Amino acid sequence: MADTADMVVLGAWYGKGRKGGLLSTFLMGCLDKRTGEWKTVTKAHGGLGNATLERLQDEMKAIMVKSGKEEGRSFELVKSLAMKPDFIMKDPKKVPVWELTGAEFTRDVTGGGG
């Protein structure tokens, strides 16, 4: 049995190897309703076919900005991450919600997730 969670895409990294040049690893997160802040939860990669990744490139770049060119509060959630994404979202309310599936979800108290 698999666990699922709905999360938004908050950032993305370029892949390496055969996925080099494609945004193929995604920073996922959710809104903390108690604080009103966006929290990072996990990095997601795999599970998307090459055709889907190709299609997502223009979509992702239209709703994201290159890291280092961000403005305002949207970058607050990733500025403390050790590995900053190549791109971050412009407005978290306008990014896609994806359903992530995993064999098991566990809490990592040492990571940057919320």
Range of the domain at 48: 3-95
Q: Is the pTM of this model over 0.75?
A: yes
Span 58-84, pLDDT tens digits = 888 898 888 875 555 455 665 566 678
Q: How confident is the model at residue 104 (pLDDT cuts 50, 70, 90)?
A: low
Query: Is there a domain that residue 113 lies in?
Result: no
Q: Which tokens belong to 109? A: 């108290």
At 24-67, the pLDDT tens digits run: 999 998 888 998 888 888 888 877 888 888 898 888 889 888 88
Residue 102 is assigned to a structural domain of this protein: no
Q: Specify if 39 maps to a domain.
A: yes
- Any domain includes 37: yes
Confidence at residue 40, expressed as pLDDT on a 0 to 100 scale: 86
Residue 5 has pLDDT above 80, yes or no: yes
d(CA 102, CA 82): 24
